[in-house]
Structures are given as C-alpha cells and as structure tokens.
Structure 1
Amino acid sequence: MIIVKTAEEIELMRESALIVSKTLGMLAGEVKPGVTTLQLDTLAETFIRDHGAIPGFLGLYDFPNTLCMSPNAQVVHGIPNNTPLVEGDIISIDCGALKNDFYGDHAYTFEVGEVAPEVKKLLDITKQSLYIGIREFKLGNRVGDVGYAIQKFTEDHGYGVVRELVGHGLGRKMHEDPEMPNYGKRGRGKKFVEGMVVAIEPMTNLGTHRIKQLKDGWTILTADNKPSAHFEHDVALVNGKPELLSTFKYIYDALGIVSNEEDEFRQ
C-alpha cells in the first residue's frame, strides 16, 4: 500500500534527506587515496548525530554500520572496513538518516583520484539515468515508466542494469511501497499519486547485469567483477511533478563542480 504524505510530512522528510545530502557533502572532501571506509563511516556517524538525527542504516535489519560502502565491483551493501582506498578506485556511499520519525536515503558514487575513462563514463551515464528516471515520476505515470526509461538509456550504452535490487517508497520506514525497479515496461505497475515519496536509485554495471553475494550476507558484487555505479535521490510527487528532497549540491560544492542538473526538479 502506498502511504501518501501530507505537505508537512514532506517538509519533515526534506530535513532528513538534506542531512544525508550534507553528510555526503562532508565525505566528498575526505574520499581520497589512503583513507579507509571505516574511517569515513565514523565521520558520517558523528556528523549525522551532531545534526540531530540518527544513522538510518545502523542496526537496520542488523546492518553493522552507518554507511553502505561499496568500492569498484561491489554494487551495494558493502560493509566498511580497514582497507585503504587507492588511486583509481570508485566508491559508492549509501547513507540514511532518521529525524522527526522520517527517513532520508541517498547515494553517490565517488571517484578516488583519477579513474579510467570507461569507468568515468559508467558513472556519468548512471547519474544521467537517475534524472531520466526521475522525469517519469509524475502524475498519470506508473512504476514501469520510470524503470523503462532508466533501463533503455543505460542498456543503449551497453551497460547491465541490476534486477534483484530496486528503489522503493520512503517515509516512516526505510522501505515502503512501491518497489521501484530500474527496468520495466511502460504503463505497467502501480500508478503514481500526489504526495508519494520514493527513492529512485539506478545500479548499473560495466558488464553483465548479474550479481553475486559475499558470505558476509550483505555485500553484493557484479558476477564478472567489473565496476558498478550507484546514484540515488529522494523524490516527492508535488503538484503532479517530481520534486527533489535530496541534493548533490553539497558534494559538488566540496569538489568544485558546477551543475544545473537539479534545477528542473525544484518547485
């Protein structure tokens, strides 16, 4: 069942989403060769608590950390550890925060120093696919319209779209209805309604769409060990159109990136 949010609840969700956005912005300046994902995890937990929120992932389904940290061929749900990042890595950082009884859930894949051109392109296309999907999150459309748009764009570039892991509704629970696959057929699935909030999060692999899981019960890897990218935004349906609750602005400020990619999703 889709849980519709009031205008007031959407504003509370924006607070939670922006705490996550600011956390990722803080981490952007710390992602560099030599740093460990466990060090980044500690920084994130402190930052979230200092901003009046609770880490949304810590303890959720018994996950042991604040961040899901997934380098290179890891797709999602990587557990922070003491292995240092090295030049040429990429690292997907997925972060959640709980404030005012509502969750924010937001992800970005960072470059560690200079990365290979084909990997840089993977990140660029995956991030573009996120906005292509968000454009389809509008009144009158259905879940399949978002999934189809993401799938077509990424597969047209020769990438694999992960099937087993999907976006989701968001609210007082981290995972609500509807599931939001990054593949699908136009006109299929649940219909979008005013006031719903979802996390849209394409996960795109340089090679096959197939995945495997490590024995830790969490970490998801590409089946061919080629790199994977993951980007995620929290989006509300307001006045029949998608409105971003999260932002990459703080990341871009830290990295010196100028972008207007989010402008069309601000009301």
Structure 2
Amino acid sequence: MAIALRKPKELTKLRLAGSIVGKTLKYLQENITVGMTLKEIDAMGEAFIREQGAIPSFKGLYGFPAAVCTSLNEVCIHGVPTDAKIKEGDILGLDLGTKIDGYFGDAAITIPIGKISKKDEELIACSKDALYYAIENIRVGMRFKELSALLENFIIDRGYIPLRDFCGHGIGKKPHDEPSIPNYLEGKPKQGPKIKNGMVFCIEPMVCQRSGQPIVWDDKWTVVSEDGLRTSHYEHTVAIIDNRAVIISGA
C-alpha cells in the first residue's frame, strides 16, 4: 500500500488534531494528583478533548473501552483505566488520540507521580530522548527501516530494550495507516520505502528494561514486558515538511 503524501489543507487539519492531543496531555500532566484513580484521569482527558471540539478517537477504537490509555508502572502500552489509585513514586504512561474534521491526532508521554527514583527518571528519559533524537535525525530520502535501526540503537545504547511486536505508524484519515515503524530493525536498513515530504506518521519508542517480549493481560489490551519491570513510552506525530520532521502533536 502506498504511503500518503499530505496536501497543505490536510496538514492543516492534522496539525489541529495533533495540537488538541498535545494540549490534552499537557492539561493532564498539570492536573493529575496523587490519589486519583485511572478512571478519573481518563474522564478528565475525555472531557478536555470534547471541550476542544474533538472526539476522543481511542474510545471504541477496535473495542478499546476508554479515551486515554493509562499505563501504570510495569504497563508499557494500552493500559485500560481502572479504579486503581496512583501514588507517590509511580510512573504513568498517558496515550491518547483525537479526531476532528475527519483527521486524527496521536501522542503519548510517561510522567512521574510526585518524586520518583533516579532509576525511573532514567527509564522515562530513554523513551523521551529516543523520540527526540529520532525526530532530529529524520531526513528525506532515508528509509523507514533506517529510522527503526536508529531508534533501536539509541535504546540499546542507553542499556534498555525496545518492546517487540508493537510499533509506530502512519496517520491521517485513519488512526493507524501505512507505514508500520517498529522501534527495532527487521531485515536490512537499506530496504523498504523512503521518507518523503508530505508524509505524516507517529514515532513511539516503547522501552523495557531486560526483555522486549510482550505479554498481553486477560483484558486483551494491557501490554507489559515478560520481565515484569517498569517501562516507558513516548510518542509524537510528525509531518515531513521542507525535508525534515516537524512535530505536529505539541501543546
């Protein structure tokens, strides 16, 4: 399947969807407090998205039951909001999407709850730094497999392991579109499609400590590493404009 090249009008709509994602993540980060339940955080996020005139695109997507993926501690991605209360020293992944005027936005952060350990600070920093390193180094003409290799090498150099079987993705009129962008290299880096101006896609490093082998809980959504240790996840939507990657999911 061909990877879409977005026209300026489409980019404007994608920027709007992405900006609402960024604003919502910022709002949640500034207002989440110790003692809140994951369901309360999800409700906050959904209400804020709707106040901006958008639809929370994750809610009902493939059957997901909430607007915000709330991934607590060892949960890497797709955490289902529950009545569990967050406490000092936790780390919490927040992943959410929007839909407005037919176009989608998507981004994620992992945040500290109060004061956290240095070990957890470094874990969060790996996923965040890997994301921004990748964005800074994207160039028109490089292949997506080269991007995957870049992400993998960064994560491993920090002493961590990328989660397997889950990946970044294209985005536009669909929440998930071509191409798939794993955080690890499959095949040879000089194979596959090249990055071109007008492409829009999500990069999302998912970082584990000892094993990248995923385990999905009985809820069919929640993904953890088989090592049972804490994980981190960051994501931005980027557009390729004037030969470089521009973040369009910022606040």
> 1:61: which partner in 2?
62
> 2:15: which partner in 1?
14
Deviations 1:65-97 (A, max 9, x none): 000110111010010011100111101000100
Q: Aligned pairs, how many? A: 248
Say which of 195, 211, 214 aligns to 1:211: 214
- Pair 1:198 & 2:201 matched: yes
Instruction: Write the distance in 2 (CA, Å) between the matches of 1:47 and 1:119.
Output: 28
Q: Report deviation, 1:131.
A: 1.3
Deviations 1:115-144 (A, max 9, x none): 111110011121110012223432110111
Say if 1:31 and 1:110, in contact at 8 Å, map to a contact too: no
> 2:144: which partner in 1?
143
Q: Report deviation, 1:166.
A: 0.1
> 1:222: which partner in 2?
225
Instruction: Write the distance in 2 (CA, Å) between the matches of 1:189 and 1:205.
Output: 27
> 1:75: which partner in 2?
76
> 1:120: which partner in 2?
121
Q: Report deviation, 1:208.
A: 1.3
Give unmatched runs, 5+ long, in structure 2.
none
> 2:190: which partner in 1?
187
Q: Report deviation, 1:206.
A: 2.1
Say if 1:48 and 1:97, in contact at 8 Å, map to a contact too: yes
Instruction: Write the distance in 1 (CA, Å) between the matches of 2:69 and 2:78.
Output: 5
**Stretch of structure 1 that moved more, 170-179 or 3-12:** 3-12
Give unmatched runs, 5+ long, in structure 1.
251-267
Backbone CA RMSD of aligned residues: 1.1
DSSP-derived class of the 1:132 partner: helix
DSSP-derived class of the 1:226 partner: coil
Say if 1:74 and 1:221, in contact at 8 Å, map to a contact too: yes
Taking structure 2 as the reference length, the TM-score comes to 0.96
Taking structure 1 as the reference length, the TM-score comes to 0.90
* Percent sequence identity over aligned pairs: 34
DSSP-derived class of the 2:215 partner: strand
> 2:154: which partner in 1?
153
Instruction: Write the distance in 1 (CA, Å) between the matches of 2:132 and 2:192.
Output: 20
Instruction: Write the distance in 2 (CA, Å) between the matches of 1:235 and 1:179.
Output: 14
- Pair 1:240 & 2:210 matched: no
Instruction: Write the distance in 1 (CA, Å) between the matches of 2:64 and 2:147.
Output: 29
Instruction: Write the distance in 2 (CA, Å) between the matches of 1:97 and 1:150.
Output: 26
Instruction: Write the distance in 2 (CA, Å) between the matches of 1:145 and 1:135.
Output: 14
Q: Report deviation, 1:160.
A: 1.0
